[in-house]
Amino acid sequence: MSIQTKASRVTVSTLRKMKAEGEKIASLTAYDASFAAVLDEAGIDIILVGDSLGMVVQGHDTTVPVSVDDMVYHSRCVASRCQRAMLMVDMPFMSYTSSQQALETARRLMQEGGGQMVKLEGGEREVETVRKLSEQGVPVCAHIGLQPQLINKLGGYRVQGREHHQATKMLEDAVALQEAGADALVLECVPEILAAEITANLDIPTIGIGASPACDGQILVLHDILGITPGHVPKFTKNFLQGNKRIQDAISSYVVEVKRGTFPATEHCFES
């Protein structure tokens, strides 16, 4: 199982090819130039400038306070050292409440921030937004399951899709987002069996976080895999710095385990 060469820039077509050939997609977050260079060199396929920066960089309790200006700034920093990996950028809370607003947010994240793909949270309610973005040539990654931007509505970080009607709806949403033009789909905190079923029913790649090893790829927050996240450590993460002397080695170990399919293991997944 080969990792793409350094000279080959990862694109939407690359991701589709990786899914078709069974090569796992290794993704991590980054928020600055230095870590972007390390991730890029280690063979990370997608670097996500996540609105998780609100928590791990800015010190907030949620991602809600993060602004478009914040995302543009950090994306621009990461883009300066991102040579091979695809650069994906989160559209922050309340920045895509209408198709027109979503187009303007995407424009800024790509033109000013250097992003190559934008990510937004939501199922059925965001189908039309995904369609409008796709029609304008914007690569889109949808995000269903646990949606951190809705944490105040959900009342906590909980596994999504354990009830039969929830699981059915999630699968329907995934198919609808694909049909609207989504190029990838993040599944967060979803029961392992459901994540595998969604993955099998889509032509676009799925990227799991607390989902299933059957997903076409995995993503984690950089600070989590280095064991420096304060407070509660999510069940679905792993400290890859343990047993490694350097940060670079920890990230390389993450890439290897994702590519081999040994991460996530059973203990990182959720039952129905």
- Per the listing, tokens 């369609």 go with 131
Helix axes 127-135, 99-107, angle to 10 degrees: 50
Alpha-carbon distance of 39 to 46, in angstroms, equals 9
| CB 220, CB 241: distance < 8 Å | no
Catalytic residue (one of 23, 121, 126, 188): 188
| CB 39, CB 220: distance < 8 Å | no
Residue 188 falls in the annotated catalytic set: yes
Active-site positions read 188
